[in-house]
Every structure is written in structure tokens, then in C-alpha cells.
A and B are shown apart, each in its own frame.
Chain A
């Protein structure tokens, strides 16, 4: 599956500087694992050693937080939009 990935400011320096890239994968876990291979600098920033999501990383598929859709097992469909966002204290826009 081919999807669009939106990268937050904090991760851009480690991921070639782009804010949006195209990614491939059938699950969220697959996409994130591929990213850590392509961009070794972010290893440990996306996934924990056991393959679960980093505590301070929120991943959204089409604006839905994947933690409530099966976590790394959440499925990706063609043309989905995946957004990575750091978890921050409520209140900032």
C-alpha cells in the first residue's frame, strides 16, 4: 500500500528535512520499521525494542490515533494519510 506520511518538525532533521514523504507498507508497524531502516538516526524514536509505539509518539491514520485502532497492527489502505506527532501537554495549537 502506498500512503502519505506527514513528519513533525522535531523529526525532520533526522529524516532528510522533508515534511511530507510517500511510504509503503500494509500496517503502521511495517511503515515505521521501514522508516527506521531508511533513516537510522530515528531508530528508537518511533518504536520501542519490543516493536510497540514510543511512549511520546502519536501516530494518526487519517486523523485517527492508531493506539485505538490496533496500534502497530493498524492497517494502511492506499492513499491513507499517516501523521506522526510528538505527545505534548494539552493546550498548545
Chain B
């Protein structure tokens, strides 16, 4: 076994496992990249470390200086990953968290010493972003890394996640991942297309806008600046909605190949299966990104309760 000096050295270099037993087409291989193997448990460890290191390089954060405060809106994983990095670096982290995230996320934030600022659950992540922007403007001494707009977010996927996939799966034809901030898709997508222009990049997203009641009009909408800055509309080849029921069903199906993953990963797998269903080419290889493991979602009953009850509950819980 390799010996590591710091937990942060464990970020990245995640394994890829063949889950083709769940492929709807015998000619389409599906591979899952397991980001839950990161030390704080999700793909966001890469992003958190990248955001903090970029801020340290440009002098917005100074290692060893006391009383430095960071603020970030997060529905969970970025907050948890930042909390780990901040704990090790000695920064104080305030996470703006919608009230309707699974309780495990709150507990992990507390475990790593982050302070939680509640944002209204009905406003979803939009509300969290708005509140963080306002608090940051009112407290200019706080460092706001703003994962939705920070180029260090897609950059870390361009410099680590993408090259790892290319090294492990040089025959890749399709990459499928959840959209979220779009950092993964922009960074990995750009890296892969630079290597081979015909690699197809598919985004998966939940029908978020259906339940966000806080919108007064369409003009309250939000497109992450990093999506626009990276010309996401041209980089992506397809974007599909995966609804709560499919996400839960595929989260459960993944246990058939021994994977216990988070619900957004069930959605990504559902997207990979939709993608596979469109492919007639006999050499297709899809890589899908499993953003985290299932531990933080046990309280949703996703694996044990009646699927109709879980779907109903899912409508009021943020799990992407």
C-alpha cells in the first residue's frame, strides 16, 4: 500500500468499474468512475481543493493567517469537501445550505467544523446562491470562492478527472454526468473533445425547475457562469432530464453490481442507460460519473422503503 502524508493527497485517481451487466445493449459497455472514493466522499473534493489552492495562489487566502473566513452556497457535497479542506488548512467555513437537504449532509458539515447558514428550502439552490452573494457583498472581508463561476472548478476536471478517464478508458465514445454547476462536464468534456472530437458529452439533470416555488418569473432563472464561459451549449451534445423515480430505480439497480451510491449517481446511470439505448455502433463505451456513495442518503429510505413513498419524499429533499 502507498503511504500518504495528508488526507488531501487522497483526492482524485479514482477507480473505474465495469457495470455493463446493467447495459440495455450487449454491444455497449458502461463504465462507472467512482468518485465516492475521495476522502470526504464525493467528486467535490477535487473542486474544493482546487478552489482553495487557486485562492492561496492568488493571495485571497493566506496559509497560517488567523481568522480567515470563507462562505459558499452548497446543497451538500461542495460544502462537505470544503469543510474538510478548511479544517486542515485552518480556515473558518460558512456554508449556505438549503433547509431541505438530507440530515446526513448537515451532520458531516458539523463534523468537519463548518458553520451552517440556512437558506429557504423552497428556493432550492437558487436561493442559496442568492443569499451567499448578498452575505458576501455585506462582508467583503469573507472569501467567496463561488463554485458556480470559479474557473478553478472546471479546470480541476480538465487537469485531473478528464486525463484519468482518458488514461483508463482510451476507447471512450460517450461521457455522461450530472450537470449541477457544470464544472465536471465542462472540464472533462473539453479535455476529451481535445483528444478525440467525436466523443459525445451528455448532461443529466433533475427537473429542478418543477419544484422551485421561489421563482417569481423566468427572469429569476440561473445559468452557472462557468457553463456560459465554457460555451456549454456547444460543448454538450445532449442534455436529458432524469426524474426522481428513474433516479431511485437506477440507484437500486446499481446494487446488483455491488455499487451503493447516491441518488444523483442513480440519475447519471439512468442517463447512461438512455444514452446506450440510442447507440447502434458496436464499439461504444460509455463512462458515467458516480458522484458519491449512498451513505448520506440512508435517511431517504431510498433502498428500503416503498418506491412511491421515496419518490414523494424526494420531491421535497435536495439530493443532487
Binding site for B on A (CB under 8 A): 8-11, 45, 54-58, 60, 63-65, 67-68, 83, 85-93
Contacts and interface: CB of A to CB of B under 8 A. Distances in A.
B212 A45 contact: no
A73 B317 CA distance: 35
A67 B124 contact: no
Q: Is the interface of B mostly helix, strand, loop or mixed?
A: loop
Contacts of B126: 88-89, 92
Interface string B235-279: 011111111100000000000000000000000000000000000
A56 B223 contact: yes
Given A45-B218, A63-B240, A93-B318, 16 more contacts: A8-B209, A9-B210, A56-B220, A56-B223, A58-B209, A60-B240, A63-B241, A63-B243, A64-B238, A65-B238, A89-B224, A90-B180, A91-B128, A91-B208, A92-B98, A92-B211
B12 to A, nearest CB: 21
Contacts of B319: 93
Residue of B76, B126, B178, B244 with most partner-chain A CB within 10 A? B126
Interface in B206-222: 206-213, 215-222
Contacts of B206: 92-93
B233 A88 contact: no
Interface of B: 74-76, 98, 124-126, 128-129, 148, 178-182, 203, 205-213, 215-224, 233, 236-244, 314-315, 317-320
Contact of B207 (A45, A67, A83): A83
B148 to A, nearest CB: 7
22 contacts: A9-B215, A10-B217, A11-B218, A57-B221, A65-B241, A68-B239, A85-B209, A86-B215, A86-B221, A88-B124, A88-B222, A89-B125, A89-B181, A90-B179, A90-B224, A91-B74, A91-B75, A91-B76, A91-B128, A93-B206, A93-B317, A93-B319
A58 B128 CA distance: 21
Contact of A90 (B125, B221, B314): B125
Given A9-B213, A90-B181, A54 B239 contact: no
A45 B239 CA distance: 21
Contacts of B215: 9-10, 86, 88
Which 9 pairs between the two chains have the least Cβ-Cβ distance? A56-B221, A92-B124, A91-B125, A90-B180, A91-B75, A85-B209, A65-B239, A89-B125, A86-B209
Contacts of B239: 64-65, 67-68
Contact of B129 (A10, A65, A89): A89
Nearest to B75: A91
Contacts of B222: 56, 87-89
Contacts of A55: 221, 223
